[in-house]
Structure 1
Amino acid sequence: MFGTSIHWTTFFYLLIDTFLLVIACVQSSRNRYTNLNRYLVLAGLFVLYNLTGGFLPFDGFPGPFILQYVITYGVAITMGIFLFHYIYREYDIRILNVHLTIANISIYGALCFFGLFLLPYYFTGSLDTARVCFTVPVSLICLYFLWAFYGRISKPKNPNKFVLRRNKLSLLSVICMILLPMLTLIGDYQWLTFTIVNTSFYAITAIEIDRYLYFLEHKKKMNALLNYYKAERNKEIAPKFFTRGLTGREIEMAMSVLDGRSYKEIGDEYFIAEKTASKHASNIFKKMRVKNRTEFMERFGKKKL
């Protein structure tokens, strides 16, 4: 299409992702008490991935030919790492397994790209050789990540339906993303590669939509929290943390606290440690200007709804 290598399916996904990005921007500006920053960044990266991966390479591009692959691979690696970061934040993961921190994953990606793609290409001049040297070890790292992540979420304790749906969608998103280096090795089949990779983003989008519907299901509890937040935000002496609002995870935790669940039960439900659940609760209490759980329940509990 347009005299470039972009396939019509890639262009179609580009339009969908751009539309979702615009909708998310509008929703984020209207509901300042929620935090969609991570989703906005992820959406922007997928739009950029469709643009660079679809339109590049082409003959009229200025500079050396390899520069186009540096751009496309760089965007794809950044997108994949940020999606993993998104998953880590969604599940409050710091270290998934041995050495699997986001910082280490970023280092692995950079080292593999420079050491196993650019150097082989420099010495051999063969794009196919560079692609094989790069994708094989990266695919192994991705499979290890999938194994560790599946082990983390495969045995939920006291999950609700929302958590189970999120687990399935998160797993689908990770599977589709880790297939990217393998699909690159197979060949340049845009209709297949971009369909699978964009499915990863749509799974994350489904998680955000499901979270929004989950909030609507608990509208009364939401109203008590958000109305208070709005009132406090409008005060001249409102503290700085009100400008950021409650994150999606904090609202989920707040509703669990209002349901009377212990921090251990909340931790089991969301696959986090009891201390992490307690830390989330402390952040919520600070933002809602209460001293402790008892005062939080008195102000926003069922009697107030």
Structure 2
Amino acid sequence: MSIEIVIFFYLAIFRLARPDDKTTTLNLILIFLLLIYNITGGLLPDPKLPGSFFLQEVIAYATGFITPCYFPYYVYRAFGLTKLKFHVYKGVYLFLILPYCIFVFVFWLTGDLKDTQNLLIIPVLYAVWVIVSLGKAIRHKYNYDFSSSEARQEMVVLLFSLTPWVGLPITTYFDLGQAVEALITNIGFLLLFGLQVMRHVRVVRFEHEKLMESEQRLRSWNADLKDEVNKRTKELEKINEQRTNNFINLVHETKTPLTLIKNYLDEYITKYGTVEELNVIKGGVDKLTADVINLFDLERFSKGIDTYKHNQVSDFSGILRDSLPLFKHYCVKHKIECSTCLDEDIFVKADPNAIHRIVNNIVENAIKFTDPDGEVLISLTSQEDEIIFSVVDTGIGIPEDLQKKVFEPYYQIGYKNTSLQGMGLGLPIVKKVVEGIGGTIFIESNPAKMRGTKIVITLPRYKPTDKDEPVKEVDSLNKLNYNFNYDELSDSDYDAQKRTILLVEDNIAMINFLSNKLRLTYNVFGARNGSEALKKLFEMSVMPDLILSDVMMDKMDGYAFAKTLSEQDKYNHIPIIFLTAKSTPTDRLKGLRLGAIDFISKPFSFEELSQKIETILDSIVRQQKAILSTSIAALKTGKTQEADNMAQSSLLRFEQNSKLFHLTSRETEIARLIFKGKTYKNVAKELFISEKTVTKHIQNIFAKVDVSNKVELLNKLSK
């Protein structure tokens, strides 16, 4: 019995380890019934134990019957003996459980156990039937073929192990004694358990072999995959290197013609003077030169090649002082206050051109992103063995989550566009240059709390010796010339005899070029982005006949602008031509779906653009004449219908204008109540908000609509 208990706990642990193994569950139930049978068979009947003789005998016989009842189900499930299905679901109930119930009833009536045992003849005969059925079921399982050792083994062990258990009623009927019963049944169980262990060993060994095969295949597959990945990686690296080399070669070859153009242009201006057109050309050449140099230098840095030779001693103070007059000039022109705090005699062991590049880029960005009436503070100080160069502005600022991204190549924050549009290469190159000198650069900015950005660069300070000759100025050939153009847009004087065009473009040079060309024939109005164009449309005294719009702009791009116009009944009839560098089929299709009638890619010919504008406007005039003629003819024949919605209500115009000025739902709700004559206090009471909140919303509304009081607001929103 001790062995059986050990086996029981072993099976229980194995069942916890493999909960999906159903055979283990069947074995657990079997050995549990065996333990119960051995306990009750060994203890009962016993006058010292509680319970009557009748009850103890009933329990003892019950355990002897339950185990044989379970065996047909056990072999049916554990060994797949499907031929025993009748005995599992019907036989045990008819020939074991029912006779046992009759046995108990008769024993209770007569009290004579010996005579009552004669009723066990039915289970005895049934046991013989089950044993015969067991042999047939095994033969059926193996298709009557016992050539395999597994089939013969299973046949013999099942018959020898299950026959004592199924024949337990025979042992009880002939009263062979408890010792004989226990010996026969336990030997049978051990044989059965041994068979199960052997089957389990075969299954585990088979699973192990399959696992090893799978592992071997996985290793082989991983090795093949690794080889393929390495092969593809090398191919991609080779292709990428080839593309990079081609790109560098292209940039390098571009530098030569740009140098010739730049020098001949400078020479021509020096000899014959300049005009506005030449200044525009020179600014474009200078910017293109700077972009090409940045591209070339960035690729060199990415390959680990330092553009500069830091074997000279540079006078940081002198180089910065030499650059300040140019930047102060731009600050004055843009109405920015420029303050400086510079220490003298600050030296650094670095290429003077690298220092000049750092200064120009950082100060340029500060001016570029600072609005008029703002401030820029340039500081150069020393602290022990460090140089601290910082530039502080009062611009829009850089959110904390973007402060690392601005040092990534080609990444730009499009807060504000001027004619000095970059490629997102300045700060990445500055970071590479600073790190090459052994310094650091970091940004301090939190737009959520306060406007402005502070960029701080620290470099190792150098103390020159008598042999050193510090460089104070940079060669003019190495200076990057920037053209800050902050000219205001000027609309042409309205001429009723001319048709009207609205230009939407964020590049000042481009919009001035187009405006100067087109205003000879048309009335031209300009805007720098979609949001500004919407306000311009609202303020214009005449509806434009055509809109020329760029696509890539800040605040509101061309696509968003076109979509907003398409939702406004007042403006959705105005034809739009997109002028843009985005010329992929997807971009063109998107623009045409938004209602654009043409899509002209940059660079373009002005003559071609002019001809398209004239053709489109002439076509519109012809359509208008055709519609007018049709309407007059319909009036004469009496077939006209009353025009629908000749004038929209004041409230409808108010709703449309609220969308036009991008008022939020809460702002529109407040403006609607103001439109109805409600006071701030009444608005707050009706909307269940504070009067202070209402005042804050009204201030936002005034800023969006560009008004200063309620009267102007109501006039604009109901226009």
Q: Equivalents in 2 of 1:64, 1:226: separation in Å? A: 63
Q: Which residue of 51, 60, 67 maps to 2:39?
A: 51
Could you tell me whether the CA contact under 8 Å between 1:57 and 1:68 is conserved in 2? yes
Q: Which residue of 27, 32, 52 maps to 2:14?
A: 27
Tell me how large the CA RMSD over aligned residues is: 2.5
Q: Which residue of 189, 192, 202 maps to 2:177?
A: 189
Deviations 1:14-70 (A, max 9, x none): 222112111111222234453310100111110111001111111123232111122
Corresponding residue number in structure 2 for 1:174? 162
Q: Equivalents in 2 of 1:69, 1:164: separation in Å? A: 39
Q: How does 1:57-136 map to 2 (within 5 A)?
A: 57-96=45-84, 99-115=86-102, 117-133=103-119, 135-136=120-121
Q: Equivalents in 1 of 2:212, 2:179: separation in Å? A: 47
Q: Equivalents in 2 of 1:198, 1:226: separation in Å? A: 41
Greater relative contact order: 1 or 2 (C-alpha under 8 angstroms, separation 6 or more)?
1
What is the Cα deviation at residue 167 of structure 1? 2.1
Q: CA 1:226 to 1:191, structure 2 compared with 1: closer, same or farther past 3 Å? A: farther
Corresponding residue number in structure 2 for 1:163? 151
Corresponding residue number in structure 1 for 2:137? 152
Q: Judge which range, 190-199 or 147-156, deviates more.
A: 147-156
Structure 1 alignment gaps of length 5 or more: 1-13, 228-305
Corresponding residue number in structure 2 for 1:286? none
Bigger fraction of residues in strand: 2
Q: Equivalents in 1 of 2:213, 2:64: separation in Å? A: 39
Deviations 1:153-204 (A, max 9, x none): 2463376323332222111122111331121122262221111111221122
The reply to whether residue 40 of structure 1 matches residue 28 of structure 2 is yes
Q: Give 3-state SS (helix, strand or coil) of 1:100's partner.
A: helix
Q: CA 1:26 to 1:197, structure 2 compared with 1: closer, same or farther past 3 Å? A: same
Number of positions where the alignment pairs a residue of Structure 1 with one of Structure 2: 211
Q: Equivalents in 2 of 1:122, 1:132: separation in Å? A: 15
Structure 2 alignment gaps of length 5 or more: 216-719
Q: CA 1:200 to 1:29, structure 2 compared with 1: closer, same or farther past 3 Å? A: same
Q: CA 1:147 to 1:188, structure 2 compared with 1: closer, same or farther past 3 Å? A: closer
- Compute the TM-score of the two structures, normalised by the length of structure 1: 0.62
Could you tell me whether the CA contact under 8 Å between 2:81 and 2:138 is conserved in 1? no
Q: One-letter code of the match for 1:66?
A: F
Q: Equivalents in 2 of 1:18, 1:70: separation in Å? A: 25
Q: Equivalents in 2 of 1:147, 1:122: separation in Å? A: 33
Q: Equivalents in 1 of 2:83, 2:89: separation in Å? A: 8
Q: CA 1:224 to 1:153, structure 2 compared with 1: closer, same or farther past 3 Å? A: same
Q: Equivalents in 1 of 2:99, 2:133: separation in Å? A: 21
Corresponding residue number in structure 1 for 2:3? 16
Could you tell me whether the CA contact under 8 Å between 1:162 and 1:210 is conserved in 2? no
Q: Equivalents in 1 of 2:160, 2:54: separation in Å? A: 32
Q: Judge which range, 160-169 or 14-23, deviates more.
A: 160-169
Q: One-letter code of the match for 2:28?
A: L
Q: CA 1:104 to 1:151, structure 2 compared with 1: closer, same or farther past 3 Å? A: closer
What is the Cα deviation at residue 79 of structure 1? 1.2
Could you tell me whether the CA contact under 8 Å between 2:69 and 2:92 is conserved in 1? yes
Q: CA 1:156 to 1:206, structure 2 compared with 1: closer, same or farther past 3 Å? A: farther
Could you tell me whether the CA contact under 8 Å between 1:162 and 1:214 is conserved in 2? no
What is the Cα deviation at residue 108 of structure 1? 2.7
Q: Give 3-state SS (helix, strand or coil) of 1:96's partner.
A: helix
Q: One-letter code of the match for 2:107?
A: Y
Q: How does 1:288-299 map to 2 (within 5 A)?
A: none
- Compute the TM-score of the two structures, normalised by the length of structure 2: 0.28
Q: CA 1:224 to 1:31, structure 2 compared with 1: closer, same or farther past 3 Å? A: farther
What is the Cα deviation at residue 109 of structure 1? 1.6
Q: How does 1:231-246 map to 2 (within 5 A)?
A: none
Q: Equivalents in 2 of 1:15, 1:108: separation in Å? A: 33
What is the Cα deviation at residue 95 of structure 1? 4.7
Sequence identity of aligned pairs in percent?
19
Q: Equivalents in 2 of 1:190, 1:30: separation in Å? A: 37
Q: One-letter code of the match for 1:63?
A: G
Could you tell me whether the CA contact under 8 Å between 1:94 and 1:101 is conserved in 2? no
What is the Cα deviation at residue 144 of structure 1? 0.8
Q: Equivalents in 1 of 2:168, 2:49: separation in Å? A: 24
Q: One-letter code of the match for 1:70?
A: V
Q: One-letter code of the match for 1:202?
A: L
Q: CA 1:216 to 1:131, structure 2 compared with 1: closer, same or farther past 3 Å? A: same
Deviations 1:141-160 (A, max 9, x none): 01011112212324633763
Could you tell me whether the CA contact under 8 Å between 2:160 and 2:188 is conserved in 1? yes
Q: Give 3-state SS (helix, strand or coil) of 2:51's partner.
A: coil
Could you tell me whether the CA contact under 8 Å between 1:170 and 1:204 is conserved in 2? yes
Q: Equivalents in 2 of 1:101, 1:26: separation in Å? A: 28
Q: Which residue of 141, 162, 187 maps to 2:126?
A: 141
Q: Give 3-state SS (helix, strand or coil) of 1:218's partner.
A: helix
What is the Cα deviation at residue 220 of structure 1? 4.0
Q: One-letter code of the match for 1:139?
A: V
Deviations 1:59-92 (A, max 9, x none): 1232321111221111221111112211111343
Could you tell me whether the CA contact under 8 Å between 1:52 and 1:72 is conserved in 2? yes
